[in-house]
Structure 1
């Protein structure tokens, strides 16, 4: 009878015990919240049901082992509440968009704003949160208080749970070792799909880096920054840097795309570089890297330093950052900066058609608002610096998804029907592409009108424009949507970005370049590594960090 009671206890465990709660939650999250992972495994060659079951067992016991260490009465319910709700959200995003949750994604999440967050909300997300997170959390909170137990005995039980979990994980791994090793080696993204361990690792990694990182002001770079002397009577330079968002090179008709996504730029003397790669696959990774002198291979995000804007300002130039997105990721903290919705004193209000007027979290404006009252914004800058030159940065909302239909105005939707939902996986793929291509056409019009504005400055400045996107986007290829994949495994759709140069004929810069040299750059490999040095060379700034071999125009100068 005693043996029978013990066997029945395994099937009817005391759910008031923290250790029991930890393992039941591990079973729930490991099996149910990882449905996108089980679906993904079944698409891989050589992976059958047997391996999937063994892998699921590994996920459960590994999660149970970790939670065993946290199985204390005053701690476990709070931990499990957060993990269950997080697992419900991750199951939705991984299953819907094919994303992975790694440290870079944590940084993206922390740095996003309410507009971007709103675009990701849906009833499917709330359903996933309810079924996979809120319901088990409600059940957990209703469990009675744990029976009294000495700290030593509870610690012993927790360590036993941890040890048994590790042993079980090792045994399961050994049982499918050949398939496991090849699968993990050839599909590295899987490790970031294991919920909630991916979240625990990624959040912990970002937290440790944040706490252990250097404190104080960013390291100074280009302390010797200066401007080269200009010829007598030469106009000061004006470089417009347009930082695109989520534009991929393969959807630019300038680069061979079959659809006319760049009709206005096609009529202008621009040079579009067709073989450009990004620093990262998300804004938080790419922006700091592309404005740094080291290039992707040498850039360390954990070591704060000054950037291109600091160096140009130290050289004596006027610098202005205009933002129509979620911020500059710290790049513009030490230079004049503003958001499109924050107008200078005496400026005319933004036209109604430029902004969505029904936004609860503040107006979201189309990128064309970056040009609104631009002359007044510039007039507010230091006039002595303006005499030496101006670098103006426009940070777009661009093609940010998943609500692509919000990024193009009603009068500029040449490709219809478009997906009118943030549930991209529920739309026909052609509708998703249509909505995305409309955003590229909108960027095309912004760049053309930016060039038109630059031409109005020709009496004061030797003006030019450099446009480059921060990263690309997946539009359903191989089941992936959006961006943010770890760089080593990211598809070309997320790393192959457009770059467009406009150097007007008759200007001092154009006169200094060899005939036909700019056009020869079209098919040469380039990357975000070139931005820092090309911008410095463009405006005649020099410092010890300047590398002429990374300046795209250096080889063209006579």
Structure 2
């Protein structure tokens, strides 16, 4: 005896049995098996707009925007608007693209929503083009730091389960003119819902987005889609081949009677908060060695320095450019940078990296990476501590061209520094001065005190590193006139206002992500050579400076003359010989 036709189970081409329900039949044509692609899109878009946007709903709740009838109307309107916008994107795909792309694209959107939801909720970050660039440029160590069971659980619940449902689902793809017409009508419907839902709540929504611009970067996964579009867009902005810079550069005559060439080490710090340096007045003594150097009269710390961006990918290319933060963001073309100008001047340049690369600024100079070849005494498993950059440094310098070395050497040491969230991995056991530390990469599991302990221990180790650089430079004084400059690329949030890590858009980022340390050490021989003394520099140590000064100050410190040098941005010019 056969069951009635309406109660039979349908078997798809793959052999899977699909049991229809009354609810699903509403979305289907009884004469054809399977779901209509637009119905599938609508269900999953509603899923992503609602459950996938918990970070957005949480932020709106904290702002008090979801209270009462008006708050409910805002939530419903915004949720429908997000779902309809996602549906519009997928409808465009089903209208023009091959039908087999539907499931992969929806799966990709689900994964983007799941990963975005986890990181936005866990660390208080937002997703924009800069944050996506950071993600694309991360290395294995940084990825490992972020792995946690909470991440796996979030991705499983928000992406894997609905994707499993999607791939088991039988979807029918109508063909012909009528099918295209129906798809076009669905597209129009999605657009109409998006416009209508947004229009109903526009007044409240416009005020929220204007006063809290970070909210627009929480709309998931449209934020990731928009960021990908920004990165992929071949616009006229900084398009075309790399342009030369400072080809006229030359070295000024030195004042030093020793006639020794300069050896300057630029330590590029990573994720360092100026306010957590004891040298800058922090209540904890995180920098005892640097404070001793300052008491010797050879070091000065600028306490009011500000970064170009809130991430390595944004700050490093900007600070090695002559343009400054605002002009760099609006540039029409990409040019060579500081290290190229130093080479044009005839100096030998070396980049040593203990991080995830130089973001393009060292592409045309000799470079070395400390990752991949663990050095006994400096490395713990896959992690090499920053002091490894001094290992074999003399041999690396000796391998540089002799003619250039005779004019002077500039070495850049790129730190791992205090890069989170695994702060406890950044300092060896003997430098763990503050405890207990947060040992989890899911920072929300730890108290802010324990997070700060782990982070402050990275500053204690940075203090050791910088002092080690100074001591090493002192051993080179018979051959070189030596100096060191340390500047961090950006700061860090340690849980203040439930914000962690870094990378927020500059306009809304808290000061702790932008306020960075800037420290200069000059040997007596270099002081005699340049006329610059720490005592003179100390007079302006509290003046507001920024990464805009970095390019020009390094040129001024080394006496490099070029048309791209701007004296007004050189921190050291007022103290230089003949100033």
- Normalised to the residue count of structure 1, the TM-score between the two structures is 0.93
Task: Give the C-alpha shift of residue 142 in structure 1.
Answer: 1.0
Can you give the 5+ residue segments of structure 1 that lack an aligned partner in the other structure?
1-7, 344-348, 358-362
1:10–1:163: structure 2 CA closer, same or farther, 3 Å change rule? farther
Query: What residue number does 2:288 align with?
Result: 263
Query: What residue number does 1:296 align with?
Result: 325
Task: Give the C-alpha shift of residue 510 in structure 1.
Answer: 6.8
Query: What residue number does 1:283 align with?
Result: 312
Instruction: Summarize deviations over 1:195-243 as a string: whole Å, max 9, x none.
Output: 1111111101101148986344x11010101111224542211111000
Match status 1:88 vs 2:114? yes
Query: What residue number does 1:143 align with?
Result: 169
Query: What residue number does 2:378 align with?
Result: 354
Query: What residue number does 1:365 align with?
Result: 384
Distance 1:532 1:490 in 2: 24
Distance 2:263 2:572 in 1: 16
1:504–1:510 CA contact under 8 A, matched in 2:
no
Which range is displaced more, 429-438 or 302-311? 302-311
Question: Could you say which structure has the larger radius of gyration?
Answer: 2
SS of equivalent residue, structure 1 residue 234: coil
User: Given the alignment, which residue of 252, 260, 268 partners 1:228?
Assistant: 252
User: Given the alignment, which residue of 169, 183, 192 partners 1:167?
Assistant: 192
Query: What residue number does 2:157 align with?
Result: 131
Match status 1:387 vs 2:406? yes
User: Given the alignment, which residue of 67, 83, 86 partners 1:60?
Assistant: 83
SS of equivalent residue, structure 2 residue 328: coil
Query: What residue number does 1:430 align with?
Result: 449
CA RMSD of aligned residues (A): 1.9
Instruction: Summarize deviations over 1:521-555 as a string: whole Å, max 9, x none.
Output: 21001110111111111111111100111110001
Query: What residue number does 1:4 align with?
Result: none
1:521–1:125: structure 2 CA closer, same or farther, 3 Å change rule? same
Distance 2:569 2:194 in 1: 49
2:308–2:548 CA contact under 8 A, matched in 1:
yes
Query: What residue number does 1:120 align with?
Result: 146
Distance 2:372 2:396 in 1: 10
Instruction: Summarize deviations over 1:128-176 as a string: whole Å, max 9, x none.
Output: 11111011111111111414321x3333223322222222223222322
Distance 2:534 2:512 in 1: 33
Task: Give the C-alpha shift of residue 114 in structure 1.
Answer: 1.0
Task: Give the C-alpha shift of residue 375 in structure 1.
Answer: 1.1
The residue correspondences of 1:396-475 to structure 2 (distance < 5 A) are 396-475=415-494
Query: What residue number does 1:3 align with?
Result: none
Instruction: Summarize deviations over 1:257-294 as a string: whole Å, max 9, x none.
Output: 11111111010032111111111111011110000011
Query: What residue number does 1:360 align with?
Result: none
Query: What residue number does 2:129 align with?
Result: 103
Match status 1:329 vs 2:355? no
SS of equivalent residue, structure 1 residue 274: strand
- Normalised to the residue count of structure 2, the TM-score between the two structures is 0.89
1:476–1:510: structure 2 CA closer, same or farther, 3 Å change rule? farther
User: Given the alignment, which residue of 204, 213, 216 partners 1:188?
Assistant: 213
Distance 1:470 1:441 in 2: 18
Distance 2:474 2:252 in 1: 24
1:440–1:340: structure 2 CA closer, same or farther, 3 Å change rule? same
1:65–1:162 CA contact under 8 A, matched in 2:
yes
Distance 2:114 2:326 in 1: 36
Task: Give the C-alpha shift of residue 9 in structure 1.
Answer: 6.5
1:423–1:371: structure 2 CA closer, same or farther, 3 Å change rule? same
Number of residue pairs matched? 538
1:209–1:302 CA contact under 8 A, matched in 2:
no
Query: What residue number does 2:227 align with?
Result: 202
2:530–2:557 CA contact under 8 A, matched in 1:
no
Match status 1:71 vs 2:83? no
Distance 1:535 1:265 in 2: 21
Instruction: Summarize deviations over 1:67-91 as a string: whole Å, max 9, x none.
Output: 2212362221110011111211111
Instruction: Summarize deviations over 1:36-74 as a string: whole Å, max 9, x none.
Output: 111111001444241223222221222222222123622
Distance 2:528 2:114 in 1: 55
User: Given the alignment, which residue of 508, 513, 520 partners 1:489?
Assistant: 508
Task: Give the C-alpha shift of residue 251 in structure 1.
Answer: 0.9
Query: What residue number does 2:41 align with?
Result: 22
1:105–1:529: structure 2 CA closer, same or farther, 3 Å change rule? same
User: Given the alignment, which residue of 476, 481, 485 partners 2:495?
Assistant: 476
Query: What residue number does 2:5 align with?
Result: none
Task: Give the C-alpha shift of residue 332 in structure 1.
Answer: 1.0
User: Given the alignment, which residue of 349, 359, 370 partners 1:319?
Assistant: 349
Task: Give the C-alpha shift of residue 507 in structure 1.
Answer: 3.1
Query: What residue number does 2:17 align with?
Result: none
Query: What residue number does 1:5 align with?
Result: none
1:338–1:302: structure 2 CA closer, same or farther, 3 Å change rule? farther
2:127–2:224 CA contact under 8 A, matched in 1:
yes
1:318–1:382 CA contact under 8 A, matched in 2:
yes
User: Given the alignment, which residue of 285, 310, 317 partners 2:340?
Assistant: 310
Can you give the 5+ residue segments of structure 2 that lack an aligned partner in the other structure?
1-21, 29-33
